[in-house]
Amino acid sequence: MNASSLKLGFIGLGIMGAPMCGHLISAGHQLFVNTHGKVPASIAETSATQCTTARGVAERADIIFVMVPDTPDVEKVLFGEDGVAAGLKGSTGKIVVDMSSISPVATKEFAKRIEAVGAQYLDAPVSGGEVGAKNGTLSIMIGGPDAAFERVKPLFEKMGKNITLVGGNGDGQTAKVANQIIVALNIEAVAEALLFASRAGADPARVREALLGGFASSKILEVHAERMIKRTFDPGFRIALHQKDLNLALSSARQLGVSLPNTAMAQELFNTCVAHGGAAWDHSGMVRALEKMANFEIGQKAE
């Protein structure tokens, strides 16, 4: 272990969490880990110490990262029996970093509860999917105290490239919800465009290539359009998780008195996919809902 190594905790070793944790291990830090189910081989075969509870992680680590699917999962990890909060009692100077994508409103409450037991709290949701997690190129949107952010920033830099302190607790989650609105609507736009082009008889792959050189170019056109054309809908980022994020957007918008009509439409397209067994498809699979309405698939020979 190098002289600059830290005692870190990581809870939630799924598609995103495992590679993120792996970058921290590779940087020479001492990791204490816990996850639902079996610890993946990519972590189990390293120097990481496996803990049976989230409390055990919090007792041993100075900075504890959480990466789980939804708001109730975070609440259980933090405040359930043998949760993180129980392991923080009696300690000072520790930081809890929630990198899940959850409710901004709940996040503010979680931060207050963690501060009440003597630790600081950062909400730090990410964007970039499995590819970004594996490559250490995630965009990380952070809410919380400046001092805690500065202490954790070198660790964020092992997992991501675009790292921004947005504001106070909850603001990181708000930025992530905004991100998910943009991503969903971009997927829908790309899907419509490729479906139109393909139905008109053009080669969708060549249309994509042409559009990548113009003002319509985007990461969605680059990555997800290729998935739509090649029919590769293994996640990635599951539709069920994007549905969860759009639910956060729509419920928060109702509370704020803001109308998000196209976000609601994108959610209905995701709902259609789920009705056809697509909860676990990559979110680029939204195109399948549009294809159902057109009775035509991208790449199919137009009559």
**In the numeric block, which tokens belong to residue 303?**
């009559």
Which residue shows structure tokens 């990635």?
236
Rg of the chain, C-alpha, whole Å: 21
176 is catalytic: yes
- Which of 49, 63, 53, 45 minimizes the C-alpha distance to 6? 63
Q: Residue 233, CB half-sphere, CA atoms under 13 Å: how many?
A: 17
Torsion sign across C-alpha atoms 100, 103, 106, 107: positive
Q: What is the average pLDDT value for the chain, to the nearest integer? A: 96
Please state, in angstroms and rounded to a whole number, the distance separating the CA atoms of residues 61 and 49: 11
Q: Which is the catalytic residue, given 134, 153, 176, 301?
A: 176
Residue 302 is predicted with a pLDDT of 72
Q: Is the pLDDT of residue 2 over 80?
A: no
* Higher pLDDT among residues 80 and 1, named by residue: 80
pLDDT confidence band for 100 (50 / 70 / 90): very high
Q: Which residues contact 240 (CB under 8 A, 6 or more apart)?
A: 274, 279, 280
Percentage of the chain exceeding pLDDT 90: 92
Angle between helices 261-275 and 287-294 (to 10 degrees): 80
Mean pLDDT within 158-181: 97
Question: Helix (H, G, I), strand (E, B), or coil: what is residue 3?
Answer: coil
pLDDT confidence band for 154 (50 / 70 / 90): very high
Please state, in angstroms and rounded to a whole number, the distance separating the CA atoms of residues 52 and 82: 10
Contact 59, 34 (CB under 8 A): no
**In the numeric block, which tokens belong to residue 199?**
């139905």
Residue 4 is predicted with a pLDDT of 67
Which burial class, exposed, middle or buried, applies to 37 when counting CB atoms under 10 A from its CB (0-12, 13-18, 19+)? exposed
Q: Is the pLDDT of residue 277 over 90?
A: yes
Residue 129 is predicted with a pLDDT of 86
Please state, in angstroms and rounded to a whole number, the distance separating the CA atoms of residues 233 and 279: 11
Mean pLDDT within 5-20: 96
Going by DSSP bridges, is the β-strand pair 138-143/126-127 parallel, antiparallel, or unpaired? antiparallel
Q: Is the pLDDT of residue 222 over 90?
A: yes
Please state, in angstroms and rounded to a whole number, the distance separating the CA atoms of residues 9 and 50: 10
Q: Is the pLDDT of residue 18 over 50?
A: yes
- Which of 16, 56, 15, 5 minimizes the C-alpha distance to 33? 56
Please state, in angstroms and rounded to a whole number, the distance separating the CA atoms of residues 300 and 228: 12
118: left (phi over 0), alpha (psi -120 to 50) or beta: left
pLDDT confidence band for 1 (50 / 70 / 90): very low
Contacts made by residues 176-179, CB under 8 angstroms, sequence distance 24+? 176/101, 176/125, 176/126, 176/127, 176/141, 176/245, 177/101, 177/104, 177/245, 177/248, 177/249, 177/252, 178/249, 179/127, 179/139, 179/141
Mean pLDDT within 76-85: 98
Do you find a cis peptide bond into 236, omega within 30 degrees of 0? Answer: yes
pLDDT confidence band for 236 (50 / 70 / 90): confident
Q: Residue 143, CB half-sphere, CA atoms under 13 Å: how many?
A: 23
Q: Which residues contact 288 (CB under 8 A, 6 or more apart)?
A: 233, 273, 276, 278, 281
Give the residues across from 143 on adjacent strands.
123, 167
Mean pLDDT within 3-12: 87
Element (H, E) at 294: helix 287-294
Mean pLDDT within 295-299: 95
Residue 3 is predicted with a pLDDT of 45
Mean pLDDT within 277-300: 96
pLDDT, tens digit (0-9, with 9 covering 90-100), for 42-54: 999 999 999 999 9
Question: Helix (H, G, I), strand (E, B), or coil: what is residue 83?
Answer: coil
Element (H, E) at 112: helix 104-116
pLDDT, tens digit (0-9, with 9 covering 90-100), for 86-96: 999 888 899 99
Q: Is the pLDDT of residue 74 over 60?
A: yes
